[in-house]
Chain A
Amino acid sequence: MNFFLYSLAFLVFSVFLMLFSARLKKITSGIFLCSLIVGSVLAIISAIKVLVNQTSLDYHAALRMPIGEFYLGLDALSAFFVFTISVLFLMSGIYGYFYLQDCEKKNLNAHYSIYNLCLVFLLILVTAKNAVLFLIAWEMVTVCAYFMIIFYDQQKVVRKAGYLYLIAAHTGTFCLFIMFLLMQHNTVLSGGQAGSMNFDQMLLTPFSLPLAGLIFVLAILGFGVKTGFMPMHIWLPHAHPVAPSHVSAILSGVIIKIGIYGLLRIILIIKDFPQWCAVLLLFIGMISGVGGVLYALGQHEIKKLLAYHSIENIGIITLGLGIGLWGQINQNEMVALLGYAGALLHVFNHAVFKGLLFLSAGSVIKATHTGEMDKLGGLLKYLPWTGHLFLIGAVSICGLPLFNGFISEWLVYRALFENMFQFKINAIVFCSLAIIALSLIGGLAIACFAKAFGAIFLGNSRCLDNKQLKENSLFIAPMIVLGGICLWIGLFPKTMVSFVLRAASVVSAVNLSPIKQSAIISPLITMGFVLALLILTIVILGLLKKISMNFSCTKKAQTWGCGYSLPTSRMQYTASSFAEPILRIFRNILGFTVKGNKPSGYFPKEERISAHVVEVSEEFIFKPIFQGIQFLASKLKIIQVGFVQLYLLYIIAFLLLLLIWKIV
């Protein structure tokens, strides 16, 4: 615990130091870099200590808080999230330090100190053992994230996106307030006194099934808005593209995951849920997963595409949670462990590869000043580091073998399949649906990232002159570390899987026996052997090819244009045309439309054609609701006429009403 507290203290101290040394820009950025590295490394050490030793630590502070107490605890679940958060914050922070160097006019000190403040409150959030502390940290994270999103606040679209995020996050928090109050109300202290806000006390009291269901729905609504469950995800695709890239990375990698942490914490506290809660989670997972990747296919802007992919990955994580909860409810310990472990590992994996992808996207945008995929092309030759790291991220996010995404998806798949062996009809139905959804997600993700990587990095440039582009080598270093983690987990998953199994055993309250652990890990080791064989085969084939090429001639030529002799780079297949066949199949769900006319006649005039997807939940669910609210609110204007006397009358009338209500 000491390391963790030192880390917190260090970061808090640095926040104040940076605010007070605002004049000295050089010193401030130095403080930022040092404090971030020291703070996150300390937090990582403390988390690894807890995960290795399997002991949980508690800390009660002497300082009095308005309500409740300052009570932190590091169990395996918290430690795992502390680990994830610190790793990504460290890497994004270093990247951001170099990324923002040319923003001289901005107040970077404020940004740096808010960045560290956000890290502090995230760490408090995932270790808080008291509901009030949890909510305070939750709100502070929301506010810090808001200030980081609106970094480029002179643009109107940025301010609008930030505002949308703030409203969405607060709407969710409203549900959380009700949820925690309900939980507190149910908790009875030993003396028969009123409830407690401490998670420990809540853990000891039993919850009736209907109440557990109600709390669960509130948790889904409250945490789901921030996490981006499918119908409630509208802020994500607006906020991610406008933020600076390192902020998008932590938004997508960490901040949306704290909702998952919240759900896991609630599952841990309440333990017994009705069966439909697991089904609800599975359905949310399927909708978010498939919907997220389909919308991503329809995007033309790289960061917006990545934002939708976050929703898809949240879907995969939720599928893991759902099947874990199913196993926990039906006392199927293996399924519970596998499901939660898959979900948790995907939380970490997604943080790593999505961080990597956003950082590479940032590097592309920095070099080319655009994120429109149909304007780019052929960047792999001119931005080699960025391109190859983006490729690693893309292969990982598709869940393909050799990289980390596959390991977590394998765990989720295995949980779903093992759950069918009980031969209950509902288990077979829901698990089959989830498996089909997961494999559809996999196939669509491959299409989507082939499109993104192909359009940006392969072929020829469509609009820009690539030759002038230069890669900034300074912010490549953190990306290399993230890419390395992807490969490390993909080939040697043992360490991370044993970590997540410990966290999963805490959540599901299943005792992690060595037999179970080896039943989960030993197939992964054989798989590592197969993957090593795959790499070996590729290397051998490559060597054979190299040797044989010495004996035959190799020529360079233009790409074959199927007989057309004057091809231009604008004739290449664009990202929009690549995605069109899939979008056409799903056009009814997505509202996919192609606008424009085909050229006609012998001497065709210039025509334009463009493809769009309609954000259904924004257009058809939230817009009508908010327009309705606005309409009703405008009706209330009648009582607002601007006379102070009248307003005083209202107050008196209201007080009278209260008095009457009290008497009667």
Chain B
Amino acid sequence: MGIQILLHLTVMLVLAPLLFGIIGKTKALFAGRWGAPLFQPYYDIIKFFKKGNVYSTTTTWIFQVAPLVYLATILVSSLLIPFGGLKAPVYFWGDFILFIYISGLSRYFIIIGALDTGSSFEGMGASREATFSCLAEIVLALDFIILAILSKQLILSEMVGGTILSSWPLFGPVLLLVGLSYFLVLLVESARIPIDDPTTHLELTMIHEVMFLDHSGWDLACVSYASMMKFFVLGSLFVNILIPFHNLSAILQTVVFGVGMIGLAIIVGIVESCIARLRLNRIPELIIGAFVLALVGLLIILIKGV
């Protein structure tokens, strides 16, 4: 058990920044540039870890602890998801509820961490984060409802594993709809274009990134590392839903999983290159769109019966 957990965490800790490198490379290629090296995110994180910290006199311990809680919750929630051949090391009946709520815990802490600085920009980002994540959570809940009905399971690794293969021939369209709506949730939760632009220069238009204006050194390293791993965790769930590979051998599964993750990163890169960021007041409409997609999936199940 202990070794499994460590292996799981190591895989994620090592591979998560690579996805961001791939996204960056894809975007650069689309823009006709050669771009930063593939391993740039690693260099960034190492650089942040080496830097000293600057703390605002307004802040309390909450500001310092929030990045740690953020990182820790992502690490723990990754234990509930299988990575290809690596089975989920921890599982129990109803663990996906913990998965949703543990991300709520990290969100709560980064929001109050942002409010702790007393900066109006960070307050603004916190307010937007609270609004959009709370809408995205509904879509996530609906996706999980469909997966639970199809798999007759309440264990996250089983809901996206084993039985999903047998549902593909019968409920292919439903799973595609779930995958699509989940993809939009993934974009919202990991703060990518078209919801949020992490590379924008204007604080007024940011959502997620503006909450970390005052973070420096270790805290900034934790936050950016955690964001990369959050993308990895959410992305691996996406790959598990969409690519039915669960009866292959462990090595093949891992290969398929790896290819799927790289594919996901490239898709996100392409989406970011082709679409502009949405206006803030249009974002709820996008999330409601994702909700409707999942709802159509549920209706198909209701009409067809299980």
- Interface of A toward B, CB cutoff 8 Å: 377-378, 380-381, 391, 395, 398-402, 406, 409-410, 413-414, 417-418, 420-421, 423, 425, 428-429, 432, 435-436, 438-440, 442-444, 446-447, 449-451, 453-455, 458-460, 519, 522-523, 526-527, 529-530, 533-534, 537-538, 541-542, 545, 548-549, 552-562, 567, 569, 571-573, 577-582, 585
Write the nearest CB–CB distance from A328 to chain B, whole angstroms. 21
Besides A447-B131, A541-B71, A567-B119, 6 other A-B contacts (C-beta < 8 A): A421-B149, A446-B130, A450-B111, A549-B218, A573-B126, A582-B131
Q: Given that A401-B101, A537-B76, A573-B123 are known contacts, is A443 also in contact with B137, CB under 8 Å in the complex?
A: yes
A428 touching B302, Cβ below 8 Å: yes
Q: How far is the CA of A128 from the CA of B246 in the complex (A)?
A: 58
**Secondary structure at chain A's binding surface: helix, strand, loop or mixed?**
helix
Within 8 A of A (CB), among B71-97: 71-73, 75-76, 79, 90-95, 97
Q: How far is the CA of A533 from the CA of B80 in the complex (A)?
A: 13
Of the candidate stretches B10-18, B38-46, B51-59, the one touching chain A is: B51-59
Total contacts A-B at CB 8 Å: 254
B127 touching A552, Cβ below 8 Å: no
Q: Given that A423-B306, A439-B141 are known contacts, is A559 also in contact with B214, CB under 8 Å in the complex?
A: yes
Q: Given that A527-B98, A555-B52, A555-B54 are known contacts, is A432 also in contact with B123, CB under 8 Å in the complex?
A: no
Write the nearest CB–CB distance from B8 to chain A, whole angstroms. 12
For B142, what are the chain A residues with a Cβ–Cβ distance below 8 Å? 432, 436
A443 touching B104, Cβ below 8 Å: yes
Q: How far is the CA of A523 from the CA of B56 in the complex (A)?
A: 42
Q: Given that A395-B108, A458-B118, A560-B214 are known contacts, is A380 also in contact with B68, CB under 8 Å in the complex?
A: no
Write the nearest CB–CB distance from A439 to chain B, whole angstroms. 4
Write the nearest CB–CB distance from A387 to chain B, whole angstroms. 8
- Interface of B toward A, CB cutoff 8 Å: 5, 49-60, 62, 64-65, 68-69, 71-73, 75-76, 79, 90-95, 97-98, 100-102, 104-105, 107-108, 111-112, 115-124, 126-128, 130-131, 133-135, 137-138, 140-142, 145, 148-149, 152, 154, 203, 213-214, 217-218, 222, 284, 298, 301-302, 305-306
Write the nearest CB–CB distance from B107 to chain A, whole angstroms. 6
B298 touching A454, Cβ below 8 Å: no
Q: How far is the CA of A580 from the CA of B148 in the complex (A)?
A: 35
For A446, what are the chain B residues with a Cβ–Cβ distance below 8 Å? 104, 107-108, 111, 130, 134
B105 touching A420, Cβ below 8 Å: no
* Chain B residue with the shortest CB-CB distance to A448: B130
For B107, what are the chain A residues with a Cβ–Cβ distance below 8 Å? 446
A-B contact pairs, 27 of them (CB 8 A): A380-B62, A381-B60, A399-B101, A409-B101, A421-B152, A432-B145, A435-B145, A436-B138, A440-B138, A442-B101, A446-B107, A458-B115, A526-B90, A533-B76, A538-B65, A538-B68, A541-B68, A541-B71, A541-B222, A552-B217, A552-B218, A556-B56, A559-B57, A559-B118, A559-B119, A562-B213, A578-B115
* Chain B residue with the shortest CB-CB distance to A450: B111
Write the nearest CB–CB distance from A30 to chain B, whole angstroms. 39
Write the nearest CB–CB distance from B123 to chain A, whole angstroms. 2
* Chain A residue with the shortest CB-CB distance to B53: A554
Q: How far is the CA of A398 from the CA of B51 in the complex (A)?
A: 35
Q: Given that A526-B92, A572-B120, A582-B131 are known contacts, is A555 also in contact with B55, CB under 8 Å in the complex?
A: yes
A395 touching B105, Cβ below 8 Å: yes
Write the nearest CB–CB distance from B200 to chain A, whole angstroms. 13
For B5, what are the chain A residues with a Cβ–Cβ distance below 8 Å? 533
* Chain B residue with the shortest CB-CB distance to A524: B92
Write the nearest CB–CB distance from A440 to chain B, whole angstroms. 5
A450 touching B112, Cβ below 8 Å: yes
Q: How far is the CA of A423 from the CA of B149 in the complex (A)?
A: 8
B124 touching A573, Cβ below 8 Å: yes
For A409, what are the chain B residues with a Cβ–Cβ distance below 8 Å? 97, 101
Write the nearest CB–CB distance from B196 to chain A, whole angstroms. 14
B72 touching A538, Cβ below 8 Å: yes
B90 touching A529, Cβ below 8 Å: yes
Write the nearest CB–CB distance from A207 to chain B, whole angstroms. 33
A537 touching B94, Cβ below 8 Å: no
Q: Given that A395-B105, A523-B93 are known contacts, is A417 also in contact with B154, CB under 8 Å in the complex?
A: yes
B98 touching A530, Cβ below 8 Å: yes
Write the nearest CB–CB distance from B290 to chain A, whole angstroms. 13
For B52, what are the chain A residues with a Cβ–Cβ distance below 8 Å? 552-555
For B76, what are the chain A residues with a Cβ–Cβ distance below 8 Å? 530, 533-534, 537
For A527, what are the chain B residues with a Cβ–Cβ distance below 8 Å? 92, 95, 98
B102 touching A443, Cβ below 8 Å: no
Write the nearest CB–CB distance from B62 to chain A, whole angstroms. 7
B134 touching A447, Cβ below 8 Å: yes
For A567, what are the chain B residues with a Cβ–Cβ distance below 8 Å? 119-120
A443 touching B116, Cβ below 8 Å: no
For A533, what are the chain B residues with a Cβ–Cβ distance below 8 Å? 5, 76, 79, 90
A440 touching B127, Cβ below 8 Å: no
Write the nearest CB–CB distance from B116 to chain A, whole angstroms. 5
A450 touching B108, Cβ below 8 Å: yes
A548 touching B119, Cβ below 8 Å: no
Q: Given that A423-B306, A446-B108 are known contacts, is A557 also in contact with B54, CB under 8 Å in the complex?
A: yes
Partner of A534, one of B58, B65, B73: B73
Q: How far is the CA of A381 from the CA of B60 in the complex (A)?
A: 7
For A378, what are the chain B residues with a Cβ–Cβ distance below 8 Å? 58, 118
* Chain A residue with the shortest CB-CB distance to B295: A432
Q: How far is the CA of A562 from the CA of B115 in the complex (A)?
A: 15
Write the nearest CB–CB distance from B272 to chain A, whole angstroms. 24
For B124, what are the chain A residues with a Cβ–Cβ distance below 8 Å? 573, 577
Q: How far is the CA of A529 from the CA of B5 in the complex (A)?
A: 13
Q: How far is the CA of A56 from the CA of B181 in the complex (A)?
A: 52
B104 touching A442, Cβ below 8 Å: yes
Q: Given that A423-B306, A460-B118 are known contacts, is A453 also in contact with B112, CB under 8 Å in the complex?
A: yes
B149 touching A545, Cβ below 8 Å: no
A573 touching B130, Cβ below 8 Å: no
Q: How far is the CA of A585 from the CA of B94 in the complex (A)?
A: 31
Write the nearest CB–CB distance from A448 to chain B, whole angstroms. 9
Write the nearest CB–CB distance from A334 to chain B, whole angstroms. 11
Q: How far is the CA of A421 from the CA of B148 in the complex (A)?
A: 8
Please provide the 7 A-B residue pairs with the shortest distance between their CB atoms, ordered closest to farther: A573-B123, A443-B134, A454-B115, A459-B118, A447-B130, A526-B92, A439-B141
Partner of B128, one of A425, A440, A581: A581
Q: How far is the CA of A558 from the CA of B135 in the complex (A)?
A: 34
B145 touching A420, Cβ below 8 Å: yes
A439 touching B137, Cβ below 8 Å: yes
* Chain B residue with the shortest CB-CB distance to A555: B54
